[in-house]
Amino acid sequence: MDSRDNDKGLRLQVYLAHAGVASRRAAEAFISGGRVSVNGEKVSVLGSRVFPGDIVLLDGKPVRAESGFVYLVLHKPPGYICASRDPQGRPLALDLIPEGSSRRLYNVGRLDFLSSGLIFFTNDGDFTARLGHPRSGLEKEYLVDATGPIPGEAAEALARGITIDGVRYQAKEVEKTGRKSLRIVLVEGKNREIRRVFSHFHLHPARLCRVRIGPVTLGDLGEGASRPLTKNELERLNNGHSH
């Protein structure tokens, strides 16, 4: 376990998930099924907590977090800010994560205040730097609904590339999915890129949701919910899989 956990410990199912044993839901089934013990005593009650130095066994085999690092996926709702604090007092995305404040997690990249969707939280600075570097080639996929019809020229300009106020914007993929909607894949992803291009064409997003980062998809994760990255997802991100 991470020695920085506070004295309330960590929920056992969360510990198992962070150790890469299983998803949180599957870990709960392991606990309920009597397959987990802590310090030699079988634990079958959900909500039990473990502390630094505790010995956790699954089916009699030791379970240890591979490192003190945590990698989480959050479905950020609109109206939350991606920052560790906000002078304006706006709600923080970090506060939606149960262990967020005690673990001193931080977001990887950003989603602006009004946007929703997939964002990573971690305490691994190298992971953050690697994914945030333009050379990572990491794809980010968005679904955008506008308040009015989207002219073909706007979609074409984003796909072809357009310079606005001296800044070049260009998407890797742009697909019209409806009269008022687009699917957009970005790689470099400049600050507020989609909103700036929309504004240039006098368009306004009614909804802007990021549904994928590289190999990780939003799936059925509900707004405000979070989960650990799976081992497979983490390996693919670390190995440079852009999609």
User: Residues, the chain, total?
Assistant: 243
Distance CA 226, CA 76 (A): 9
**Rounded to whole angstroms, how far apart are CA atoms 240 and 235?**
9
HSE-up (13 A, CA, CB side) for residue 153: 4
What is the distance between the alpha carbons of residues 23 and 124, in angstroms, rounded to a whole number?
A: 20
112 annotated active-site:
yes
Q: How far apart are CA 63 and CA 20, in angstroms?
A: 9
Instruction: Report the C-alpha gap between 220 and 242 in whole angstroms.
Output: 21
Tokens coding 104: 């001193």
Coil, strand, or helix at residue 112?
coil
- State how far the Cα of 55 lies from the Cα of 62, in Å rounded to an integer: 7
Q: At 32, is the secondary structure helix, strand, or coil? A: helix
| Active-site residue, from 5, 54, 112, 124 | 112
Asked if residue 209 lies in contact with residue 115, where contact means CB atoms within 8 angstroms, the answer is: yes
Instruction: Kindly state the greatest CA–CA separation across the chain.
Output: 67
d(C-alpha 166, C-alpha 28), whole Å: 53
What does the alpha-carbon distance between residue 9 and residue 70 come to, in Å, rounded to a whole number? 15
Catalytic residues: 112
